[in-house]
Amino acid sequence: MMKDEKNQEIAAILFAILEDVYQVSPWSQKQILTDMNRLDVDYFFVYDDKEIVGFLSIQHLVGELELTNIAIKKAYQGQGLGSQLLAMLTKDELPIFLEVRASNQAAQALYQKFGFRSLTTRKDYYHNPKEDAILMKREGLVDY
């Protein structure tokens, strides 16, 4: 299978994960594929046997990283897979930023476990449904 075909297949899987988690995916399959093909973006996966059941994506910016997506299929949530994904970032010395829904207390607690701290609120940042975002940042290396 050629790389482009493989990326299309993976983008379809990631889109299905986002639809499972959010009911209405915040990203289209085309947006995911475009993102995957960027040189400044990395994707990390967690598996059940050979099936991708969760992923994390980061974008490399000048002197910092942005965690752009993290999602675990609902059937696999609560099993430590989000922690496995975030642990992949523990050796990176750059500051990492992310946004999280204000109502998503479980995700905020997970991010705090990995050294992220709340910075500010972005009013009405999310749509479907409309909601504030909490901007969080992790400074450099943190022991876990």
List pLDDT tens digits, range 90-137.
777 899 999 999 999 999 999 999 999 999 999 998 887 888 999 999
Domain boundaries, the chain: 1-138
Q: Half-sphere exposure of residue 39, counting CA atoms within 13 Å on the CB side?
A: 0
CA dist 71 and 63 (Å) reads: 25
**Strand order from edge to edge, sheet including 131-138:** 41-48, 51-61, 64-72, 96-101, 131-138, 117-126
Which pair of tokens denotes residue 135?
Answer: 């901007």
111 catalytic? Reply is: yes
Handedness of CA 74, 84, 98, 52 (dihedral sign): negative
Q: How confident is the model at residue 143 (pLDDT cuts 50, 70, 90)?
A: low
Whether 40 has a pLDDT exceeding 90, the answer reads: yes
Whether 22 has a pLDDT exceeding 70, the answer reads: yes
Catalytic residue among 99, 125, 126, 131: 99
Q: Are 98 and 66 in contact (CB under 8 A)?
A: yes
9 catalytic? Reply is: no
In the prediction, which pLDDT does 64 show? 92
In the prediction, which pLDDT does 114 show? 93
Catalytic residue among 51, 64, 76, 111: 111
Which pair of tokens denotes residue 80?
Answer: 């430590």
In the prediction, which pLDDT does 144 show? 47
Mean pLDDT, rounded, for 39-63: 95
> 1-138, what's its fold?
Aminopeptidase (3.40.630)
